[in-house]
Structure 1
Amino acid sequence: MSLEELGEILSREIFAGLKFGGKEESIHEEIPAIFIEPTILGLQIILDGYNEDDQDKTYYLSVRPLRMSDVKWGKFPVSDLLTSLIRHLLYEYKQIEILEE
C-alpha cells in the first residue's frame, strides 16, 4: 500500500474526508510525507513513511500541536487514546497493522 493510498483511507475513515496532500513540499528532508491542511483544533496531522522501493512499508501518523509551547501537558495519555481510537476505526482494514511505540 502506498503512502497516498493509506492517506485516502485515513482521510475517509478518520478525518471526515479532509484530504492529505503536500508531498511535493518535502516537509521531511528524505522521508516522503503528506499532511492535512488546514490544521484541526491547532493540531498538525502528518503521515510519513519510506519510498515505494523500500522493503519496510511502515508509515507513521503524527497528530501533534502545531505550536508545542502553547500546550500544557498533563497526565492524560493522549497518544494512548488516539491509538485506541484509530485502531477501532481501522479494524476492518486487515492490511493495516497499528503498531505502538
Structure 2
Amino acid sequence: MQQLSDVVRVQPVTGRMRASVQESVDAAEHLIYADEADVELAFQLADIIDAARDSGDEERLHKVSYGPMPTLHKVLTSLGLNPEGRQKLGLDDQDEDEDW
C-alpha cells in the first residue's frame, strides 16, 4: 500500500484534490450506483478547491477554506472515504490499521 505522503508528494498542485478524490473513489469497494451523486459532488468540490489553489488569490483560498473544504470533508465522510467515515460505516478492520 502506498503511503499518503508519497501520493501527495508526486501529485502536481493543479488537480491535486481531484486526483486524491479519484484515488479514494477508485480504492473504495463499498461504493454503489446510489452513491453516484455524492461522488460527483465530491469531484465538483475538489475542482473548486483546485481552482482556488491554482489562482494564487489569497482571498479566494480563504473563502474556499470555509465552504468547499469542510463540505468536501463531510461528503467524503458520508461516503466512507476517510478514517472517520470508514469507522462510522464499520468499514475499518484491524488488518488495515497494521498497514500504517
TM over 0.5: no
- Name whichever structure is richer in strand by fraction: 1
Tell me which of the two structures has the higher relative contact order, counting C-alpha pairs closer than 8 angstroms and 6 or more residues apart.
2
